Structure 1
Amino acid sequence: MSNLEDYLKERVRLHDLMAKESVDEVIQWYDDCATLYDQNFNSAGFQFHLTTVEATLEFVKDKDAAILDLGAGTGTIGDLLKKEGYSNMDALDASQGMLDIASKKNLYKNTFRSLIGTSESIENLAEGSYDAMVSAGVFAHGAVYYESIPLLLKYLKKGGYLIFSVSLLSMQKSPRLTREQFTKLTRDWEKAGVCRVVSEKPTFHINKEPAFVFTIQNCTDGK
């Protein structure tokens, strides 16, 4: 069995863990499979990271902008952004195994290990400190949900962007990730002056599985 076959087989197990919303086991999967993930990501058919980077190029023109790679994994998006000239990036992920690999690539100034939930704060992050947060594949069933968006916005500067992808499969699996739920929550947040949705673009998650990339602009002072 090839490395890629091993990886795709492991992804089936990951989906089962995510379906159970077993957070600790999901994190352990990423720790255990970090090397396999890093070696096979680019050949596994993923596309969502490419559209996320395209949106970053569209909305974040300043190559010195402070960017947080949210759910950075082993640095796939960080590597693409560095090739586009971005140099002021931090990484956050729940898996130390993934961050250990990302750290060796010299893509990020700082790396932070943390879960993303709906708590009051994210440990070690300074509020109002980022021009953009970028995330691909992290908003998913058994991972991060739209309810976390207000928390994330706290760490953006006023006018900063949260750019993230969601697969259609995740939208269909969880009522917390449907388009209707996204529209309902963001409409309420827009009315409250918290943020505004500036872009919704179709893309693919893996191979021809549909997905969307959303761009939200923070309208508060981040505190």
Structure 2
Amino acid sequence: MKKEQQSCSNESVGNFKCFLDPNYKDTNEVIKYYSAMAANYDTIIDNGYYKGPRIVASSVNDIIKDKNALLIDICGGTGSTALELRKYGFQNIDCIDACEDMLQIAKQKSVYSNCICELLLPGKQSTLNAEKYDCVFCVGSFAPGHLQPEVVDEFIRILKNEGHCVIGMREEWLYTADDYRDKLEPYMFKLKKWRLIKRERFENWFENHSGIVYIFKKC
């Protein structure tokens, strides 16, 4: 008998407020939540309700023609987006994520060339080398208790000249989350070191919630 799928927002996520509360801010608790569900994360997410990884992987594939390009997955977790990119033929994918337990799951899949356990913070330079990557991408990393708008400065720093950045997130956080409302888009759009190539809306990004994908190119 086929196992009945669970609703990601109702039963599977349970009390993980960081996925449901637009004003959740405790990043340390978010990391603990990810650690607690790392072993079951793929089962929770890979049930057809979360299309973000496939959408962003498709967007990256559309703009990056060189399959040997060097990519980095920001807050890549267990590697769901990287796995989709592997299907397109991309082989050189790094990951940076603040949750070691999630990265351990990703390592078992061998989808990343390098895994870096590090938290990206506004105004703080990471250990990543400048102008290293052809493409920086992140899926769902701009969410309550996750990344702050200012970390996109780090995205730009580690991108090669004329490199691309693909950011995917739930649309509602732009209007309901204190950290992003009237902050995230204005901050990204005002930066002079990259330019917006595309802003596209997708239905059913996460269950019945729409998503937004931004594509930037470093100037």
Q: What TM-score results when the alignment is normalised by the length of structure 1?
A: 0.87
Which residue of the partner structure matches residue 150 of structure 2?
147
**How far apart are residue 51 of structure 1 and its match?**
1.4
Which residue of the partner structure matches residue 43 of structure 1?
47
CA distance in 1, matches of 2:32, 2:169: 22
Aligned residues: 214
Q: Secondary structure at the match of 2:144?
A: coil
Preserved contact between residue 200 and residue 214 of structure 1 (Cα < 8 Å): yes
Which residue of the partner structure matches residue 26 of structure 1?
30
Which of 64, 67, 77 in structure 2 is aligned with 1:63?
67
Seen in structure 2, the aligned counterparts of structure 1 residues 30 and 109 have a Cα distance that, compared at 3 Å, is same
Which residue of the partner structure matches residue 197 of structure 2?
198
**How far apart are residue 6 of structure 1 and its match?**
8.9
Which residue of the partner structure matches residue 217 of structure 2?
217
CA distance in 1, matches of 2:166, 2:8: 31
CA distance in 2, matches of 1:108, 1:66: 11
**How far apart are residue 140 of structure 1 and its match?**
1.1
**How far apart are residue 28 of structure 1 and its match?**
0.7
Seen in structure 2, the aligned counterparts of structure 1 residues 118 and 110 have a Cα distance that, compared at 3 Å, is same
**How far apart are residue 172 of structure 1 and its match?**
2.2
**How far apart are residue 4 of structure 1 and its match?**
4.5
CA distance in 2, matches of 1:218, 1:15: 34
CA distance in 1, matches of 2:48, 2:15: 16
Q: Which moved more, 1:8-17 or 1:206-215?
A: 8-17
Q: Which moved more, 1:2-11 or 1:131-140?
A: 2-11
Seen in structure 2, the aligned counterparts of structure 1 residues 16 and 176 have a Cα distance that, compared at 3 Å, is closer
1:5-24 to structure 2, matched below 5 A, reads 8-9=10-11, 11-16=13-18, 19-24=23-28
Give the counterpart letter for 2:198 in structure 1: S
Preserved contact between residue 171 and residue 177 of structure 1 (Cα < 8 Å): yes
**How far apart are residue 100 of structure 1 and its match?**
0.1
Which residue of the partner structure matches residue 177 of structure 1?
180
Q: Secondary structure at the match of 2:15?
A: helix
1:25-174 to structure 2, matched below 5 A, reads 25-43=29-47, 45-123=49-127, 125-174=128-177
Preserved contact between residue 201 and residue 213 of structure 1 (Cα < 8 Å): yes
Seen in structure 2, the aligned counterparts of structure 1 residues 184 and 6 have a Cα distance that, compared at 3 Å, is closer
Query: RMSD value over aligned CA atoms?
Result: 2.2
CA distance in 2, matches of 1:6, 1:137: 14
